[in-house]
Structure 1
Amino acid sequence: MALYENPEFFLIIPLIVYLLYLLSRRGKISSEPTNWPLVGMMPAFVQNLHRGHDKVTEVLSECGGTYEVKGPWFCNMDMVFTSDPANIHHVFSKNFSNYPKGPELRKIFEILGDGIFVADFELWEIHRKTTLSQLTHAKFSSSLERTVWHKVETGLLPVLDYFCKQGTDFDLQDIFQRFTFDNICEFVLDYDPCSLSIELPYVPCEKAFSNVAEPLLQRYLIPETIWKLQKWLKIGNEKKLMEASEAFDEFIYPHIRLKNGEQENDFNILKAFEKVYKEKNIGPPDGLRDFLKDTSLSLMFAGRDTTSTCLTWLFWLIAVNPLAEIKIQEEIETQLQLKEDKKWRFFNVEESCKLIYLHGALCESLRLFPPLALQHKSPIRSDILPSGHYLPENSKLIISFYSVGRLESVWGKDCLEFKPERWITQSGGIKHEPSYKFPAFNAGPRTCLGKEMAFIQMKMVAASIIYHYNIQLVEGHPVIPRASIILQARHGLRVRLSKRNV
């Protein structure tokens, strides 16, 4: 009788598989995933999906900063993960032209259309130059100050005062997301949706930004055929993406106002993009509104999620490091001369530059919890990374920004500690770190144009809260990163406030 005809054979199969698994682990680095026949390393991906960023960091830390991941043989999911600063510098700067966003990324982020995040070549240059012209406009700094302080005065402080008087806990991450959403809508659409008010109204578009973060990461980690099938069936994470896309369209389109003979305001970002769309013949006339919607959506993504995420982790970090909070309080009172006046006042962009220790604390938040946790690149020509790893053309390269800030080889033995001092020079100035070592704002030609805008806004918000309130974390509430593209706190940041005696 043939072996496969013996029923005992089928009872032995699970034991054989288990023994092969144990043999595969002998002598292996503890965090390295097993490369199984047919399915590759997919089981490890699935098992660690809830803590994906930390799992990747463990593997990269133990494997020299770069690791080749094998996917199921039939799914074209092999990819290389890296957090090696030399590789980052090579890909984002030295060999930049060989690493466009590419068609794979455009498929994953199709929700962004022709926005700057997925644009390549000439379209990307148009986006970048037009946005830069607005951020360097003579009226920009004063407009930024006015908009941020207005929202602090009419939205942030009244809401925080309300919770303080009620003595109830609340989600500080939600407050930051509403604050930055209102601000970026004002900047891009010239419209304040007032999502940050005492009523905390439900604004579908504002919530949609959080709802797309995990589904977009899922598209990296599961075969394309599966997520496309989900999309066709309108189920699972793909249904969430479709609902979010509808919410974006319903919110943004009504606020796109074309010129139609109106007097032109030289400081209006959508008017600037409308002008360049027509001058450069980017697309047909009937495609203008779609282009402006895509442009608005990308700018809103950048303005809402990155700033609110950094602020969330900053306040968690200083809550668990109270000595740092005290130093920030003392710096605010000294540098803004609040000790003498005993009265809070708004400060301008130039004065924000005096808050060196607060700047260092923000940098630590960005180092340990970069809002954009990873980046996808694909070489149009085969390449060899400085680490020695070979990349065929159109292969997948995933750069883990999250891991870069947590590698001892990059930041030293204290890499997991919150130390704002590491960003301060001996002369008391702000210490500069190269972007390939600190890629929170991307690196190379695609470095974030809104970096300075983000720091100014975050200092205004952080200083206002730290000066006015004592912040206490809700005991027992878990604060951990989401397994998503944007590194938000999975369960929010629940806190209680009390007034400071100032």
Structure 2
Amino acid sequence: MAMFGYAEIFAAVLSLFFLFQLLSKRSQRNPLLTEWPILGMLPQILLNLWQIHEYATQILTQKGWTGEFRGPWFTKLNYLVTSDPMNVHHMMSKNFGNYVKGPEFREIFEAFGDGIFTADSELWKYNREILHSVFKNRSFEKFLERLIQKKVKSNLIPVVDHVQKQGVEVDLQDVFNRFTFDNICFTVLGYDPNCLSIDFPKVACEKAFNEAEESIFYRQAVPRSLWKLQSWLQIGEEKKMTQACKVFNQFLRESITSKRKEIETKQQQQSLSSLSDQVSYMDCMTSLDFIKKSCGENEMEEPDVDLLTALIRGEEEKGRAIDDKFLRDTAFNLFVAGRDTITSGLTWFFWLVATHPLVEAKILQEIKENFPAKEEEDMVLGVDEVKNLVYLHAAISEALRLFPPVPFERKQAIESDMLPSGHPIYANENILISLYAMGRSEETWGKDCLEFKPERWISNKGDIIHVPSYKFISFNSGPRTCLGKDLSFIQMKMVISAILCNYSIHVVEGHPISQSLSIVLLMKYGLKVRIKKRGI
């Protein structure tokens, strides 16, 4: 027990013991945030945890977009919280080297391993360099295009059509969860678990992934000593975290082992069939060349390649072995980047469009004007086609502004510094950036900042207005800007256009809309809708 620190444990337990008594006698001096003796500001944070992003936005608005959070005494649950764009620009770009994820972040996000989201310094650069060569390659874009088109035609549309024919309610968030899980599994692992089908099968690894993310969020809301104690005792959220990671890690380990055997078998077959005077297929290619050919960027039809295969073969041809831990950590990070963020974006988008019929009408009009000859019901637009949909792009951007898939970002300062807002930063201090609050700033977005208004993104010439990433930070900012930003827009446009052209979405009356307590901004109760076929 000494490993946790007696003072921290005492403060944490005392916080919980007196919590309900104190909440009933809250100070009226500040209805939003009060700092209690011993307990700090934690009681009111826990009281408002169910609406934490809205609550944080109210606090930051009151404090001029930057303020301090003080946790219980003798704990390290202290943060500087900001949503000031100039502070963000300073930390993310101008003084990027001084603000890192840090060891505390990696401890909380230990499920991510040493992947690109948690890594710093040279390890981060190595991760980013490898993934950049893939994501920014035109051939990978075409590979993703074929994958999405096939999945939409073969699974998504049939499920949506089945639901509308049955006339039953469906959780659209669950549909997107399954759709994106299948996609990311095939993209990363070359394996389609077929989560999305009309019988909605239960998939243990998909459920485990969701539970792990919820537990990570919990770790950031309570003192470190408390979740460390729960982890040691294996109770509460920490027990759920351990079990979830065990299931998902087993799934990844089996996938990696299977992939290595598959690659080894293929190499042996190639070696046996090749002539002695020929150079083997792999020896004459760079890793990027391999990805290009495997994604079909040549006249001959080459098989599509998953990222796991590309990573293993790419490193092998450089004479370097790539260990299973690196592959596991990379895969886990890509699952978060390529699955949950897309699910979040699509779910909130369809809710907004369903409750804003004029926006829906403009999207449909734009698609009709650009593609008047598209008459097939199962037609799915391609990459080059969706790039022409300016209003749809603006509507997606507006949805991401209001509901950023990752609602907060965490940083740690290496050395002392001064933010543009005038707030001092001390060495090793933790900073929380509220992306959610940034999208609701009148100073940045105007007095209509709470409105869903895609027109704010379109210039008088009809082009998308460029908004600096430190103001529109849904895809991060500076050197850590999301590598998959363009691919995310492409995927969402393909899915949205395929559904909206054929079906109208109606939110079930009385269905509660609230945010889940997770590191990704999902709907707590899902998005229950009824689907109707559009008239021809």
Matched, 1:402 2:406: no
- Write the letter of the residue equivalent to 1:269: L
Aligned to 1:246: 246
- Write the letter of the residue equivalent to 1:438: F
Shift of 1:141: 2.1
Structure 1 unaligned residues grouped into runs of 5+: 1-16
- Write the letter of the residue equivalent to 1:353: K
Residue aligned with 2:409, SS: strand
Shift of 1:391: 1.4
Matched, 1:293 2:328: yes
- Match 1:358 to one of 392, 395, 408: 392
Cα 1:42–1:197, aligned 2, differ >3 Å: closer, same or farther? same
Asked if the contact 2:411–2:432 (Cα under 8 Å) also holds between the matched residues in 1, the reply is: yes
* 1:124-177 Cα shifts (integer Å, max 9, x gaps): 111111111111234212211110000001110010111001000010000001
Aligned to 1:324: 359
Aligned to 2:8: none
Aligned to 1:308: 343
- Match 2:487 to one of 446, 453, 457: 453
Q: TM-score, normalised by structure 1?
A: 0.91
State how far apart, in whole Å, the 1-side matches of 2:517 and 2:326 are: 30
RMSD between aligned alpha carbons?
A: 2.1
- Write the letter of the residue equivalent to 2:448: D
Residue aligned with 1:139, SS: helix
Asked if the contact 2:340–2:520 (Cα under 8 Å) also holds between the matched residues in 1, the reply is: yes
* 1:351-376 Cα shifts (integer Å, max 9, x gaps): 11111111111011100000001011
Aligned to 2:158: 158
Residue aligned with 2:264, SS: coil
Structure 2 unaligned residues grouped into runs of 5+: 1-21, 268-281, 292-305
Shift of 1:186: 1.0
State how far apart, in whole Å, the 2-side matches of 1:154 and 1:344 are: 9
- Match 1:490 to one of 511, 524, 534: 524
* 1:4-25 Cα shifts (integer Å, max 9, x gaps): xxxxxxxxxxxxx999964xx4
Asked if the contact 1:53–1:483 (Cα under 8 Å) also holds between the matched residues in 2, the reply is: no
Asked if the contact 2:353–2:359 (Cα under 8 Å) also holds between the matched residues in 1, the reply is: yes
| Percentage of identical aligned residues | 48
Moved more, 347-356 or 267-276: 267-276
- Write the letter of the residue equivalent to 2:437: S
- Write the letter of the residue equivalent to 1:431: I
Aligned to 2:407: 373
Aligned to 1:476: 510
Cα 1:47–1:281, aligned 2, differ >3 Å: closer, same or farther? farther
Asked if the contact 1:131–1:269 (Cα under 8 Å) also holds between the matched residues in 2, the reply is: no
- Write the letter of the residue equivalent to 1:102: G
* 1:234-276 Cα shifts (integer Å, max 9, x gaps): 1111112112211211221222222437445822422443357
Asked if the contact 2:152–2:380 (Cα under 8 Å) also holds between the matched residues in 1, the reply is: no
Shift of 1:280: 9.0
Residue aligned with 2:181, SS: helix
Aligned to 2:233: 233
- Match 2:307 to one of 229, 252, 269: 269
Aligned to 2:141: 141
Q: TM-score, normalised by structure 2?
A: 0.85
* 1:294-351 Cα shifts (integer Å, max 9, x gaps): 1111001111100110000000001111111111111111112247x57663322111
Cα 1:56–1:19, aligned 2, differ >3 Å: closer, same or farther? closer
State how far apart, in whole Å, the 1-side matches of 2:445 and 2:137 are: 36
State how far apart, in whole Å, the 2-side matches of 1:370 and 1:18 are: 30
Moved more, 270-279 or 371-380: 270-279
Asked if the contact 2:157–2:378 (Cα under 8 Å) also holds between the matched residues in 1, the reply is: no
Asked if the contact 1:328–1:357 (Cα under 8 Å) also holds between the matched residues in 2, the reply is: yes
State how far apart, in whole Å, the 1-side matches of 2:49 and 2:171 are: 25
Aligned to 2:535: 501
Aligned residues: 477
Aligned to 1:260: 264
Aligned to 1:4: none
Cα 1:159–1:279, aligned 2, differ >3 Å: closer, same or farther? same
Aligned to 1:192: 192
Cα 1:280–1:487, aligned 2, differ >3 Å: closer, same or farther? farther
Shift of 1:427: 0.5
Give the alignment of 1:3-402 within 5 angstroms.
22=27, 25-26=28-29, 28=30, 30-31=31-32, 33-256=33-256, 257-258=259-260, 259-260=263-264, 262-263=266-267, 264=282, 266-267=290-291, 268-274=306-312, 288-338=323-373, 341=375, 345-402=379-436
State how far apart, in whole Å, the 2-side matches of 1:351 and 1:277 are: 35
Moved more, 327-336 or 210-219: 210-219
Aligned to 1:432: 466
State how far apart, in whole Å, the 2-side matches of 1:55 and 1:147 are: 40
State how far apart, in whole Å, the 2-side matches of 1:450 and 1:213 are: 20
Shift of 1:203: 1.0
State how far apart, in whole Å, the 2-side matches of 1:181 and 1:410 are: 35
Residue aligned with 2:504, SS: strand
Cα 1:330–1:177, aligned 2, differ >3 Å: closer, same or farther? same
Asked if the contact 2:230–2:238 (Cα under 8 Å) also holds between the matched residues in 1, the reply is: yes
Moved more, 357-366 or 266-275: 266-275
* 1:69-93 Cα shifts (integer Å, max 9, x gaps): 1111111211111000001000111
State how far apart, in whole Å, the 2-side matches of 1:21 and 1:302 are: 40
